[in-house]
Amino acid sequence: MNVLGFDYGSQLIGVAVGNRLTRTARPLGSVSNGGNGPAWERIDHWIREWQPEALLVGLPLTLDGEEQKASRAARAFANALAKRCSAPLHLVDERRSSIEAARRFAQRRAAGLAKKKHAADIDAVAAEVITETWLADCP
């Protein structure tokens, strides 16, 4: 029943776990992404731990729905991810997910559930938003 969602970025990749039964998600954390590529060992750890039935990767489109350079990078990451795990992979339109992630992070800070020093976790919150978007539309 678990799915893993990813918010791909050129420096950090946010990761969240979601549940198809409850249609909820929660952030797991972020992994570095740089010149040597993503921190695959951590991603592989989460795949083994959660045994997802699907993988979700946010597809950053322009507000007009057009692809951009970041879209191609996210697709390349999705292809590499699909080679590491046999679960079906879905690309999820992530337009406005960063805005929603920032809003949620601010709410969690106001409630004392997050601290300013945890701002890097906003990528994982964006993955949570992407995962919940997919869960809301999945059969």
3-class DSSP string for 60-88: CCCCCCCCCHHHHHHHHHHHHHHHHCCCC
Residues 85-110 have pLDDT tens digits of 999 999 999 877 776 766 766 776 67
Domain ranges for the chain, please list them: 2-137
Average pLDDT in the chain: 88
pTM: 0.86
For the segment 68-96, the average pLDDT, to the nearest whole number, is 93
Token pair recorded at residue 116: 């300013």
Tell me the fold of 2-137.
Nucleotidyltransferase; domain 5 (3.30.420)
For the segment 125-133, the average pLDDT, to the nearest whole number, is 93
> Which residue, among 90, 101, 23, has the nearest Cα to 58 in the 3D structure?
90
> Which residue, among 137, 136, 131, 133, has the nearest Cα to 17 in the 3D structure?
131
The residue type at 81: L
